[in-house]
Structure formats: C-alpha cells, structure tokens
Amino acid sequence: MQFKPLILALSLAFSPVVHAANLGDIYREAQANDTQYAAARAAYQAGLEALPQARSALLPNVNADGNARYNDVRTSLPNGDTSSGNSAIDLNATQPLYNKASSVQVQQAEEQVKIVTKQLELAEQDLILRTAKAYFDVLQAQDNIGLNRAQKAAITEELAAAKRNFEVGTATIIDTQEAQARYDLTIAQEIAEENLLNIRLHALERIIGKPPAALDTLADQAEQAALIDPIIRKLSEAHPIEEWATRAEEGNLNVAIQRYNKTIADEQIELSRAGHYPTLNAVASYRYGRNQSLGITLADINTALVGVEFNLPIYQGGLVDSRVRQAVANQEKARQDLNTALRDATLNARQAYLNVTSADAQVHALERTVASTQLQLESTRLGVQVGVRTSLDVLNAQQQVFSAQQRLAAARYDFFLSSLSLKAAVGTLTADDLTTVDQVLRPSTAAK
C-alpha cells in the first residue's frame, strides 16, 4: 500500500510529456495558464481605460433627442372635438474650454496607468518566484525520496547483517531490534515523503494548469560550483549590501507604485480646490419642430444657437473646503505609505542579499560536512570489524550522512530562490534570470 502514493507521484511527474522541462519551460506554461496572473493581466487592461475615460471630459460632447406627441380632445359640446400634434428634434454640442477639475483628473489617470503597469510587472515577478519555488519544492521532495531509498537500502543491509550475526552468536538481539526500528522508521518517512511529493506536484500543477512533465534536476557539484561562484562574486564585489538597498529604493516595484499614489494624492488637493474655479464651455444647438392640427401643418420651427457658457461656483455649504482638508490628510497618508514601502524595500533587499550569501556559505560548509560524515561512516564500519563500534554506531553514522545530504540539497535550492528574490527586491527580476538557473539544470535520468 505504501507504494501507491509514489506511483501517483511518478504518473504526475512523467506524463504526458516525454521530454524533460527546465524552469524556463515551466514558467512559460505558467504564463499561459496561471489564473492569478491572468487576473492581473485583465486588471491591467481594465486599468488602461482610466485615461481615455478621463480625457473624454475634455473632448466634445454631442447628443441628440427628439419627441413626437399627439393630442385628441373629446367634449360634449358641438364641434368641440379637436386633435393636434407636434414633434421636435434637438441636436446639442458642448466643448469644454476651461475645466481645471477635468484637467487634473487626466493627470491622475496618467498616474493610474503607470500604477497598473507596475502592478502587472509585480504580478510577473510574483509568478516567477511562485513558479521557481514550486519547481524547487518538487525537486527537493524527489531528492528526499531518493535519499530515503538509499538510506533504506543501507539499513536493510545492516538489518540483514545484524540477523546473521545474531544467528551465529556474535551480536545480541538488541542490534537486530535497533536495525529493525530504523528500517520501520525509514518506511514511515518514505510514505510521508511520497505524500509530500504528491502535494508539491499538485501545487505546481495549479500554477501551470496541467500535470508537469519530468523536471530537470540540478547538475553535479562541480558544474554548479563553476556556474554559481561567478554569480556570488558578482553579487558581493560589484554590488555590496548597501548598494542593493539603494537600488531597492530606486527600483522596487512597490515603492514605484506608492510614488505614483503619492503623486495622485498631491493632485487630489488641486482637484478639490478646483471646486472653487470657474468653468467655460462652448455650446451649440439646433432644434427643428413641427406643429399640426387636424392634419394641417401650422408651423415649422428651426432654431440654431452658438455661444459660450460660464459658471462660477460661489458657495457650496463648505463642501469644497472639506474636500480640500480630506485631500491634505490623504496626502499625508500617501507620504507615510511611501516611507513604509521604502523601508520594506531596503529591508527585503538586505535580507535577500544575506540569504544569498548565507545559502552559498551553507552549500560550501555542507559539502564539507557530507564528505566528513562519509569518512566517519567508513571509519565506523571499520570499527565494527575490529570490534570497537556497534551496528547502532553504523546506523547513526548513516543517518548523519543522509541528513547532511538532505540539508545540502535544500541549501542549493535556497541559494537560487534567494538570488531571484534579491532581483525582485530591486525590481529587476525578469524571465531572463531563469536562464541562469537553467544553466545548472540537467535532464533527469527518468526523462531520458
């Protein structure tokens, strides 16, 4: 029964596409199918309409209307019945000549278009990070299963050896029981890891809209080092941590959005004050009317008008002054929101930078740890042969090796995710950055 989750996981991982997919391939599928990103694109298209809607208030407004009426009067008087009708068509046009409020609203709409543009870029960055995380989560779960199987195979050998030694009288039943307990624990861990792989495959499927193909996996340590070390040197030497913080203040997308919001808030004060300003419109109209009685046309009326209309608000019960005070308060709010975004951006950039350098240091340290634990395992096995170590010592040494290998794999994935997060913190993350990650990915054995 414990192999059913693995069968499901493998069926999701390897069907229906034969060829493996790298991170760039998965991201392109996410762009086409992720519902969250699709919603962001729709919101962007809707937001673009704010500008033509605002500009319409400064363009000519033309409308036409008409009416036709028939009156039928019946009375008890001789010859008192009458009937009549009239009809009219009106055509009116208005062209604003001066309207401060409409002009300010156009300026605000221009800023709103900039905001929705940045929001779409932010959604793209979010999609890159979500896709990369889901991708590496699957790889990490696959790594854990592979390590767990290797550990199970090693424990199986120790269990068989303990049973043989017990049968010939060179070991106690305790050694067998210890090995059996470790074996049973490994089986339980394998079931949990297979379930986790299923969950992560479904999480990736949610983003790309279909079961993923077999995913490319990380290259070996030597290839990774050749590609990662130049990246680290570029990060630490060309751009020290404080420079990354400065770049975040200038390029972070959330900061840019808050700057545009601050500009809109500034313009809102002027828009509120425009309630005191006059408006001036050019107007033109044409009216054609006809009156009839008993089927006889009495008169045709044609009226044309051209002129200007001027309006000056005098007093509106304090409404304009109240709106100005409200706009000033909202301006202060926008200023504080901008300051918050700036602080968050610099903090996130510093944290991402430290995460990158920390993950790199952990990778190197854990590589040495894996090597040292493997040497320890070999020494422990030799100690068993000479009688100074027990099978329990071997099991513990094996556990340390597999634990170090698992932590090393996780640190490698953390390095790449932190690198992408650092680019996002300064607003420069694009799909091209996934090409760097793809350079350290190789087709998995299962996909060949």
Bigger pLDDT: 176 or 248? 248
pLDDT score of 263 more than 90: yes
Is the Cβ–Cβ distance between 224 and 412 less than 8 Å? yes
Q: How confident is the model at residue 52 (pLDDT cuts 50, 70, 90)?
A: very high
CA nearest to 274, candidates 96, 51, 60, 103: 103
pLDDT at 234: 61
Bigger pLDDT: 290 or 206? 206
The mean pLDDT of 54-73, rounded to a whole number, is 89
C-alpha angle with apex 261: 258 to 265, nearest 5 degrees? Answer: 140
The mean pLDDT of 137-157, rounded to a whole number, is 88
Bigger pLDDT: 441 or 283? 283
CA distance 128 to 138: 16
pLDDT at 294: 58
The radius of gyration of the chain's CA atoms, rounded to the nearest angstrom, is 37
pLDDT at 292: 72
Q: Give pLDDT tens digits for 64-120.
A: 999 888 777 777 777 766 777 788 899 999 999 999 999 999 999 999 999 999 999
pLDDT at 50: 96
pLDDT score of 172 more than 80: no
SS3 content of the chain, % helix, strand, coil (to 5): 70, 15, 15
Which domains are present in the chain? 4-60+99-275+320-447 (1.20.1600.10)
The mean pLDDT of 266-270, rounded to a whole number, is 96
Q: How confident is the model at residue 10 (pLDDT cuts 50, 70, 90)?
A: very low
pLDDT score of 277 more than 60: yes
pLDDT at 41: 97
pLDDT at 6: 43
CA distance 114 to 108: 10
- Any idea which of 20-29, 323-332, 346-355 has the lowest mean pLDDT? 20-29
Name the residue type at position 251.
G
Name the residue type at position 429.
L
Mean pLDDT of the chain: 86
pLDDT score of 364 more than 90: no
Q: Is 264 exposed, middle or buried (0-12, 13-18, 19+ CB in 10 A)?
A: buried
pLDDT at 18: 42
pLDDT score of 32 more than 90: yes
